[in-house]
Amino acid sequence: MSDNESSLDAADHVLIGEDFDIARFARKFQLTIPEARQLFAKYGNDRAVLEREAYALGSNTKGDDTTD
């Protein structure tokens, strides 16, 4: 067996893409990977909803960076 990426089938490429998208989304909103996966599972791929919910989740769990 080879580690050659060209030997991956289409399903593998979809999974790799999804993992990258989730990781990028998590990083953008300072969420953990499990938090981002949970949002994708709950809200699907609707970016407007995902971003709104990620922002709300981030502001609820990261209360130390607010200023008065």
**Rounded CA separation 12/60 (Å):** 35
What are the tens digits of pLDDT across the range 23-51?
899 999 999 999 999 999 998 888 899 99
The HSE-up count of residue 44 (CA atoms within 13 Å, CB side) is 1
Using the predicted structure, report yes or no on whether residue 12 has a pLDDT greater than 80: no
- Does pTM surpass 0.85? no
Contact present, 38 and 26 (Cβ < 8 Å): no
pLDDT score at 16: 47
